[in-house]
Chain A
């Protein structure tokens, strides 16, 4: 028992602790009341009370007390067991868990509660209801945020525990007049199940039902369209030219419908329709003058108006004169700024436009580089992280504005681009025209600097893909190459620099050839360098640099070229040869291209020679026969006529031997000499070998896998033999599938005629999936030469017949018999042939009947 007590007390302790911290701070008076209520209940159990008292100064802790009792009573064995293990003290900071644990205990002990009440009942002899309320109210000690009221029902009410019933309402009325009636009414109401409003179904269930109903409805609605849609889909031609009302056809028709609306129009109409005026026109016109009278008032008005205009003009003139005289710089600057700001200024002044474009471009570039407006700034980041942009409209707007700005700035600008490119070239020209030598030397210096820089910074990155050993090796190699190139380039720059100095006094004379050579020279190293750069990190900035360099280079070329004399030219070509000789360098090709035509020619010669050779190898068979033919030709030219005549006589002579039975033998004997069939077979084999080439036999080539005696013994490797066998097999299969495979006396060439390939389709045209069906469908010509004129039009009718300007309206419902076949023979001919002049009424009728626009858009 002592152990139990300890447990309970410890429990109570923890609870009390939690209470101290978290529970509501009840006023003392209430606590006292509670205590006084408890006292009589537990007056018998003094031990417990003592325990409580000893634990708690207030002594009236509700929870502690109740928990202790049921545990003692109900779970004895459990308690004992647990008690044994109860050496472990919870840490001091375990309080947070306590609330939960309390709940757990509650749920655990729920079932125990009724037992507990029973026990109480037996002990105290009081009705169970008294305890029940206590036990129920125990776990739900809530602190409501709002005062309890009509609109803030307590939790009990929400949970449906302490729901008010009719009886509750009726109870106070008992004995009052009319009570009987009301109670009766209520009883009747209870019995009446008809008018009872049931609780609504749960939402998902309700929705499911709804969906079911809707599907049924929609299906019904849609399925009635199916036939119509199907019909329209399958129709070979769809017509949209019915009920075309294109409106007025003539100007007269438009004019006749005109109604004056504005004041001016009305006035005009009144004048035009004036009977007096028209009458005057019809007469000699003398009266027109009379009618043309202008009142004094009008005249004065007109005069004033003109005077006003004149004075305004004059003033404007004066003003502009004065403005022109102003010499203040600030004024003009401001004015220009104004003009610039307004897009009008940019439009007017091309120079300004150019400037503006440049500025815009610079801004854009900056934006793209920095992404300043992409909400990457400190402020924007902070705003976003704090979520302030959601809260405050101002912030949000500011951020959105920034984004918009970013979008505007970083958008591709085509119009600007075009302008700028031309500008660039202009600028370049200017540069060239201007201080020639100065820029040259400067640019050379710049180029030098740049090359030095590139030579210097070839640090190997120590992370990522580039740090891999083989990549590093490759990179090193590249760098070395690049360095070599750079060195060469540097040398050249120096040369130029020197020559530039010399040249400054000399008159400039440019010969195209030289320039060409120089270009090649500079271009080669530069390009390679660029390549190497891009190979490693192709960032935008790098490219830009390259671009700049490019321009520089061009200038250099231009300036440096005249400085060269032939002597140097020769040395340069030598140098080129050196470079070209180096197979590893990437520039070889470029250089070779420019050094001289002889290289090219050489290559060309070789090519042609090789081609010739190949041709030769191909031809010999046919040539053999040609020779034969030519020999024949030599022998007979003029004699041939006589011979033929003789031949004819001979044949006529042979006619007499027509009946001789040994004729066949004779012929056989006659043709015995030339074994034609054998020859043909050989020919066929040749052709087959050409078209389906024989695979090469595996041979042991001395020196290749043929070094040792063992190797020799092993012979040709198994793999080679296998491959050869497979190839042989393939060839056999190919030969088998040929058209002439089974025809001994025929060779059918299966070479593909490239020229004729364009006469075939490579792919099946869209809706077709079967080759056979497609080819069958193409078998009939559809032109007027091949078909009776009655069918030609139908055969060639387009898929959609529509007049321009006709609005295609959505399909309208129309009953269609699903069993009707697609009928193209009379495609609404009644519509097309309908005479155009019809009364509106009839047209309307027809319209209502035949308003069946096609539904082309598939909805499934």
Chain B
């Protein structure tokens, strides 16, 4: 057996540049950086545009090539893996076996924290994987620095904690408690009490949009902007109580699993679900999204785990005889599923998801939540007796981009990053199923024209608004009541004017049509006398 965890060793022997040129997989990398196919320019008639686009494409190609070449240095570390020889099966390998093979620093990531008094734990990691938040059901909140295994803060809220979530960095976190949810600072001070949401069952934070999404016990979905505290949307799902909620990291769409076996996907700008999928005949027990946003895993109470392709909304794979209380995808696409005291990790090395590793905990431990730690080959497991951490080789992304998520962030960098994040914040309407369509042509609308009733209503509202406008106090002579009335009247007239009379426009159109017909009917010699509209 051979185990390799991701190595962050930068001093790898680098090939000389001329050899690198010949690198076979350079082309594949280049393709990755080209971000899609080149458009078919031959279909263009405009020669100028054609050449311009061609030169543009050339530049893109150049850029991709350069990026592919640089990758060697920018992404030096390779992902870990688990290799077996002969008949050995990877899923038979135990954590103890792995511990013997890997270096000392990695073995530090194999541990069990036993806290039997505070009940099943929920976990959350920051984007960089440096910090972990553990929330015990009985009111225990702990913020842990995973790098040096340092307990930063531990508080007892003395009421039920249903879920915990980090906000944009380790400085703030939210906890869904018995009646309300709260936002705490890193040092445990309570910053906000979010009463509007009611008793929240699940909390998730949308990093790019700065939205804190939550679903409460009566099945209401709330989106709150944490930058200015406004409730962006509160949606009645109308599907009853649920405690299955996950965010698609690719597009920010929130998925809810319901008792009727449906999974619904939501965005804050619409009251109706974007997508409803009948995934299971029984209740949905958990949902997870692949980091690339194309795959979704659901598990139902009827002991099935299904993997869905979100581009086609079709089932890709069904894993039978397996019930997962909690599911989680790793950065590299491994799928962890926990039931009872048993955790199974599925890998997609052969195309389909199949058993990759498994881990059995002490008897009586009930797994509450599994979550892969970003940028590490580590799986965190929250269970009824505390939390555990095991090594899953090949689960984490080996290279981190310090501009995106830096586990070794200094406080200065963190502050800088915070500002950048705020500046790059996306508005809630950018949440859509296919965000790559942003900037493209607007999809054609079936119903362009508002009905007459709608127009009338709008007109009424506009007129009311115009009447309600308070006029400024002007100088003597201009402030005369007569002038004021006149002005007011004018405003109302203007408000009316913005809504053109429907019938008139219709008649005009008809007239023109008639005129055109007449022009068409005329003999060619007389056509020049036809009235030009």
Contact = CB atoms under 8 A, between A and B. Distances in A.
A523 interface: yes
B481 interface: yes
Contacts of A628: 240
Given A607-B460, A748-B313, A795-B63, A761 B302 contact: no
B272 A749 contact: yes
Given A233-B48, A651-B340, A676-B278, A759 B430 contact: yes
Nearest to A590: B489
Contacts of A428: 477
A746 B481 contact: no
Interface string A738-765: 0010010111110111011111111010
Contact of A791 (B53, B59, B239, B314): B59
B59 A753 contact: no
Interface string A769-780: 111111111111
A727 interface: no
Contacts of B341: 652
B248 interface: no
A132 interface: no
Given A557-B482, A593-B492, A756-B269, A633 B241 contact: yes
A671 B240 contact: no
A753 to B, nearest CB: 5
B155 to A, nearest CB: 19
Interface in A658-704: 658, 663, 667, 670-671, 674, 676-677, 679-680, 683-684, 687
Contact of B339 (A655, A755, A759, A791): A655
B307 to A, nearest CB: 14
Given A676-B281, A734-B446, A768-B49, A663 B430 contact: no
B45 interface: yes
A480 interface: no
Given A515-B482, A743-B314, A775-B440, A651 B339 contact: yes
B481 A749 contact: no
B59 A824 contact: yes
Contacts of A516: 481, 485
A794 B59 contact: yes
Contacts of A166: none
| A630, A747, A768, A775 — most chain B CB neighbours (10 Å) | A747
B384 interface: yes
A234 interface: yes
B473 to A, nearest CB: 12
Contacts of A785: 403
Interface string B260-279: 11100001011011111111
A748 B275 CA distance: 4
Contacts of B119: 641, 645
B481 A512 contact: yes
B440 A761 contact: yes
A762 B444 CA distance: 9
Interface in A578-605: 590, 593, 600, 603-604
Give the contact-size bracket for chain B: 35 or more
A186 to B, nearest CB: 63
A772 to B, nearest CB: 6
A674 B260 contact: yes
Contacts of B440: 760-761, 771, 774-775, 778
A769 B313 contact: no
Nearest to A690: B272
Contacts of B52: 234, 236, 767
B351 interface: no
Give the contact-size bracket for chain A: 35 or more
B168 interface: no
B218 interface: yes
Given A236-B52, A604-B464, A822-B51, A776 B269 contact: no
A523 B492 CA distance: 15
Contacts of A677: 278, 281
A597 B29 CA distance: 72
A787 interface: yes
A769 B339 contact: no
Contacts of A775: 39, 440-441
Contact of A520 (B40, B238, B302, B485): B485
- Chain A's interface: helix, strand, loop or mixed, by majority? helix
Nearest to B270: A753
A629 B37 contact: no
Interface string B231-247: 00000101111000000
A632 interface: yes
A648 interface: yes
| A648, A762, A771 — most chain B CB neighbours (10 Å) | A648
Nearest to B481: A515
A516 B340 CA distance: 79
Contact of B442 (A641, A680, A683, A757): A757
Interface stretch (A191-199, A496-504, A619-627): A619-627
A152 interface: no
A687 B272 CA distance: 9
B36 A651 contact: no
Interface in B415-454: 428-430, 432, 436-443, 445-446
A784 to B, nearest CB: 11
B153 interface: no
Contacts of B278: 676-677, 680, 745-746
Contact of B260 (A680, A762, A774, A788): A680
A519 interface: yes
A772 B39 contact: yes
| B39, B325, B403 — most chain A CB neighbours (10 Å) | B39
Contacts of B276: 680, 683-684, 687, 746-747
Interface string A603-614: 110010000000
B450 to A, nearest CB: 11
B16 interface: no
B480 interface: yes
Nearest to A622: B238
B51 A234 contact: yes
Contacts of B36: 776, 779
B46 A769 contact: yes
B303 interface: yes
Contacts of A771: 440-441
Given A629-B218, A680-B260, A429 B477 contact: yes
B340 A593 contact: no
Contacts of A822: 51, 55
B240 A773 contact: no
A748 B217 CA distance: 25
A757 B438 CA distance: 9
Interface string A486-528: 0000000000000000000000000010011001100100000
The 8 closest A-B pairs by CB, nearest first: A776-B39, A760-B442, A622-B238, A788-B66, A515-B481, A648-B366, A755-B429, A745-B278
6 contacts: A633-B241, A676-B281, A680-B260, A740-B313, A745-B278, A774-B440
Interface of A: 233-234, 236, 425, 428-429, 512, 515-516, 519-520, 523, 554, 557-558, 561, 590, 593, 600, 603-604, 607, 621-622, 625-626, 628-630, 632-633, 637, 641, 645, 648-649, 651-652, 655, 658, 663, 667, 670-671, 674, 676-677, 679-680, 683-684, 687, 734, 740, 743, 745-749, 751-753, 755-762, 764, 767-781, 785, 787-788, 790-791, 794-795, 822, 824-825
Given A622-B238, A667-B303, A762-B441, 18 more contacts: A516-B481, A519-B481, A603-B460, A607-B460, A629-B217, A629-B219, A629-B241, A655-B342, A680-B278, A683-B276, A684-B276, A743-B313, A747-B273, A748-B275, A748-B313, A753-B269, A755-B429, A775-B39
